[in-house]
Amino acid sequence: MRVVVDLDLCQGHGMCELEAPDVFEAGRDSVDLLDENPDESRRADVEAAVRYCPTQALKIVED
């Protein structure tokens, strides 16, 4: 699994960081990926982060 952040949409709300703090880090204006390819054991948290993103700036890409 690979995580992609659309920086044109991201507004740095930080909902993703709340769901998966070891994968995302919210900044002032956008989110930084701490782990672009998180382990499958993190899938449920990453999927929750994608769901809760208010601007739908996150997506999971299957490799």
Quick: pLDDT tens for 33-56: 999 999 999 999 999 999 999 999
- Secondary structure string (H, E, C) spanning 4-34: EECCCCCCCCCHHHHHCCCCEEECCCCEEEC
List the CATH number of the domain containing 37: 3.30.70.20
Residues with Cβ within 8 Å of 26's Cβ and at least 6 positions away in sequence, in order, are 12, 13, 14, 16, 17
Look up the pTM and report it.
0.89
**pLDDT for the residue numbered 3:** 96
Helix (H) or strand (E) holding 59: strand 58-61
Domain count, the chain: 1
Tens-digit pLDDT profile for residues 2-18 = 999 999 999 989 999 99
Question: Does residue 30 register a pLDDT over 90?
Answer: no
Q: The domain containing residue 40 runs over which residues?
A: 2-61
